[in-house]
């Protein structure tokens, strides 16, 4: 989880300096990169870091 925030911050800083963005635009970029990273790391919408090890196969019998 901390790696997600650190990675988003590094990418944001690079984009911020490349395009000369201000604080507000930098915050928007940060949250966009954070969301993209979250979706890549946890593609299942019901997934959280705590539940990421669980299997979510829809064909699996729940009983």
* Residue 49 maps to a domain: no
* Residue 24 maps to a domain: yes
- Interatomic CA distance for residues 63 and 57, integer angstroms: 13
pLDDT 10s digits, 10-41: 999 999 999 998 889 999 999 999 999 988 88
* Residue 12 maps to a domain: yes
Nearest residue to 34 via CA among 63, 62, 60, 9: 9
* Residue 62 maps to a domain: no
* Residue 53 maps to a domain: no
Res 62: pLDDT: 60
* Residue 59 maps to a domain: no
Question: For the whole prediction, is pTM greater than 0.75?
Answer: no
Residue span of the structural domain in which 16 resides:
2-41
Res 36: pLDDT: 92
Choose between 28 and 44: higher pLDDT: 28
* Residue 35 maps to a domain: yes
Domain count, the chain: 1
* Residue 31 maps to a domain: yes
- Interatomic CA distance for residues 43 and 29, integer angstroms: 20
């Amino acid at each position: 989880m901390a790696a997600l925030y650190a990675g988003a911050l590094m990418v944001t800083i690079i984009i911020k300096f490349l395009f000369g963005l201000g604080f507000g635009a930098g915050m928007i970029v940060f949250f966009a990169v954070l969301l993209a990273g979250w979706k890549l790391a946890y593609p299942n919408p019901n997934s959280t870091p705590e539940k990421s090890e669980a299997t979510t196969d829809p064909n699996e019998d729940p009983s």
